[in-house]
Chains A and B, each alone.
Chain A
Amino acid sequence: MNWGLYIVALVIAMVLDVSFVQVFAINHVIPSLAMCLLVFVCLYASRDSVLWAALLMGLLLDMTDVHLYMGSRPYHLVGPHVLGCFFAVCLVLPLRAMVFRRNPLAIGVMTVLLSIAVSLVYCFLWQIRSWYPDVLPPWSPEGVGSAFWRLVLCSLYSGLIAMPLGWLLTRTLPAWGFAMGNSRTARRG
């Protein structure tokens, strides 16, 4: 896998996620382009590359996710996204053999699954941390249930966005330098 290209794509996806995708917001539900990128890598890269790519993406997501301690002291919690992405790709990797990788619908469905898995770990770890003194979970004052439901909606939206985005990423496939084995791809023509 071309790691240089992955890092560039990751930075672009992160920047767009934190600053631009609100343009697509529907009642506070926003898609995640980073999840689409991770699914794309997950479908084509080797197992080890996918796991490292997931850890790197999780780390960057955690380092852009600012939280507040004692009212106004900012900090970053390394873990919820790192473990979430790792868990999600472990879940999705076995499924990639069952889908047509070039099919945009498959990319969309996989994005929904991956994004929900990330959200599950994220909510779980933050729920544990909410029992710590002086720690407010990111969804406060709402409950974890409503936060998870909103993340599920965001996942569905990400899946929708992933279809055209996945199709575009598939056009750039030669540049990524994936070791293409005997993968299942959609029959063309």
Chain B
Amino acid sequence: MIASVVLSLCLSLAPTSWLVPWTADIGAIISLPLAPLEHAATRARFWLRPSMEQEDLSSLQVEQLIEERDRYRGMLYQQRLKIRELQSQVQELQAAAQFGSSNSSRLLIAGVSGRRASGVTGPLRLNIGSRQGVLPSSVAVHRGDHLVGLISDDVQRLSSLLIPITDPSNGLIEGFLVPPGTADSRSQFMRVQLAPSGGGMLHADLDARLEVPLNTEVRIDDPGLPAGAQGMRIGRVVDVSRRDEQPLRNRLIIQPWFNAHELASVTIKIDAQQDEGGHP
């Protein structure tokens, strides 16, 4: 028993790079038989206590229409960003080629089967994996164009991990602000750099001279994220306050539209560029 405790102490202090190759596989083996039970328990949870957004829906048709509208709106913003990128490129043919290959993607519905027992943060386990065609770094969305997270690099055969977009491991995320009522204007959007601030929220600092109304929408424009994530909605501004340390800058608090931990299922979006491996 003492040996077990000493071994645990050594493992708990071992370098992370040494733990990564083998602990993920053992964890996947342990979670494999638990996955169906976790899935059933998750369904029971959402049956007993549905998330707020599910209560608002009056019918399946309305839900489908909203999803369709949001998906096309996301594509609209994606295309706008693409157009701006094209305008900035010198070689028109090269830009046109990129534009042509940007848009097709494959969608997969994934149920959330488990999460950390110790809290309401961190990655979520999904009940589909590489067998169903999930690829690393794919984008997880909800209701068309609400980005909720990214798939981790280690995709198992029957399961995968979803990293919520508010998780600090994603680092800083670049986005732009769309004030309410300006969805169709061609004005230049303000760019912001989003950082996680805990509790499932994000924050961004901005020049205090720039006026940002509440409920301003924030969308993704980050070259470090997959193409499928560009232009997608991430949240809305719920608070604007002056920073005490930097009086010339305001801090925007951004609340994601959907918290990944509050969802029973998400849609995995696999870009055609990622999908070159020939999944069904």
Nearest A residue (CB) for B48: A23
Distance (whole angstroms) from the CB of B253 to the closest CB of chain A? 13
Contact, CB under 8 Å: B121 / A138: yes
Out of B11, B48, B170, name the residue touching A78 (CB < 8 Å).
Answer: B11
> What is the bound-complex CA distance between A135 and B187, given in angstroms?
41
Which parts of B121-180 form the interface with A (CB within 8 Å)?
Answer: 121-123, 125, 136-137, 150, 152-154, 161, 163, 167-171
With a CB–CB cut-off of 8 A, which chain A residues contact B125?
Answer: 66
CA distance A69 to B17 in the complex (A): 8
Size class of the A contact interface (CB-based, 8 Å): 35 or more
Which A residues touch B30, using CB under 8 A? 60, 63-64
**CB–CB B20/A20 < 8 A:** no
A122 part of interface (Cβ distance < 8 Å): yes
B196 contacts across to A, CB distance below 8 A: 140-141
What is the minimal beta-carbon distance from A9 to any residue of chain B, in angstroms? 13
Residue of B with least CB distance to A146 = B198
Interface size bucket, B side? Answer: 35 or more
Q: Encode B32-63 as 1/0 by CB contact (under 8 A) with A.
A: 00100111011011001100000000000000
User: Any chain B CB within 8 A of the CB of A98?
Assistant: no
Check if A19 sits within 8 Å of B115, measured CB to CB. yes
> Which of B8, B15, B163, B199 meets A132, CB within 8 Å?
B15
Residue-wise interface mask of A (45-64) relative to B, using a CB-CB cutoff of 8 A (1 in contact, 0 not): 00010011001001011011
Cβ distance A156 to chain B, nearest Cβ, rounded Å: 15
Minimum CB–CB distance for A61 against chain B, Å? 6
Taking a contact as CB atoms closer than 8 A, the residue among B1, B34, B121 that contacts A55 in the complex is B1
B119 touches A66 (CB 8 A): no
The reply to whether A68 and B123 contact each other, CB–CB distance below 8 Å, is: yes
Residues of A near B163 (CB, < 8 A) are 68, 72
Instruction: Tell whether, in the assembled complex, residue A28 and residue B118 are in contact, meaning their CB atoms are under 8 Å apart.
Output: no
Instruction: Give the interface of A toward B (CB within 8 A).
Output: 11, 14-20, 22-23, 25, 28, 30, 32, 34, 48, 51-52, 55, 58, 60-61, 63-69, 71-83, 86, 122, 125, 128-129, 132, 134-136, 138-142, 146, 150-151, 154
Known A-B contacts: A15-B38, A68-B167. Give 16 more (CB < 8 A). Answer: A15-B37, A22-B45, A30-B119, A55-B4, A64-B117, A69-B16, A74-B153, A75-B23, A75-B27, A77-B12, A78-B12, A86-B8, A122-B118, A128-B13, A132-B15, A136-B169
18 contacts across the A-B interface (CB closer than 8 A): A18-B117, A19-B42, A19-B45, A22-B120, A23-B49, A48-B1, A63-B26, A66-B27, A66-B116, A66-B161, A68-B152, A69-B19, A72-B152, A72-B169, A122-B118, A128-B13, A135-B16, A139-B119
| Interface residue ranges, B against A (CB under 8 Å) | 1, 4-5, 8-9, 11-13, 15-17, 19-20, 23-24, 26-27, 30-31, 34, 37-39, 41-42, 44-45, 48-49, 113-123, 125, 136-137, 150, 152-154, 161, 163, 167-171, 195-199, 261
